[in-house]
Structure 1
């Protein structure tokens, strides 16, 4: 593979980003979720916890590729973190904003495969309750914001769209892996 390959999984809360990422990792251990820098509190699993000072330092150095605020926290895709993720394998970045996708694709040179994972609002409620989320109401607001984000960007093009109710995580992972292999083959041809 001559160019670095990465995966962006976009979708509302509980659409299956974590589950599909686990299935990708089971398919090939090179796939690993990119641990965004999180400034705030709450869930720590899957994040690199940081301080406001660390975030400010990254901003001053021009190393913030994208940052957003949700659930009272700031989530950061930073250049040093992304560099480390690519050194380790194929990063899988979870996003819920089209602006984040564009910032990453335009701001960090790699061959990005962009995947839309989708589920209904009702499924988000079921999955959120099933995993014991204490903030389901906030997740529903985020689901609505994701829907509005999609509607506001009708020009957004996806390399793959997956209905996570109709498609098993293993099949989603297989389709993503197949797409990356095709793109790598096309790049070397």
Structure 2
């Protein structure tokens, strides 16, 4: 169901977008009892995450923050403006803040991203494995990491690099999947201890 209403979304109308979908300006001030993203003009609820997801996300965030050079900023759960109808909230992003006003910044422009990190939850598998890599590759984000909890209850991080010709990601040549320890030089040198087990 859609509504011709073109004003701002409210707590009563957010689920009835206009025919062309909501825009960021129409939904940015919403106060909803859940976290959400804007996907093709539709508000999509982000599911509740579990302890292990947040622990892995925070471990990656802390290590990236400690290793980053002055050229970059690292942040978690920050909205990214892909376009006016698509607002994403990756688990962790590395971006270049040059020419951005930090006190005024609402969403990081997608063209400022250097790395996107997603930690896969049961409710986000399709998004994190298919939709989001395609989305960020199409917008030329150089690097994408996907962290998952394996059947052995150990964390694995899949590292992808952008193919600039096809605008798609391919596994990092020398280290496509990291177990126990993530060591990479890109986008800057970082070493992350992944040797944590859950549920054992």
Alignment TM class, shorter chain as reference: under 0.3
Which structure dedicates a bigger proportion of its chain to strand? 2
Q: Which has the higher contact order (CA 8 A, sep 6+)?
A: 1
- The two structures have a TM-score, normalised by structure 1, of 0.27
- The two structures have a TM-score, normalised by structure 2, of 0.26
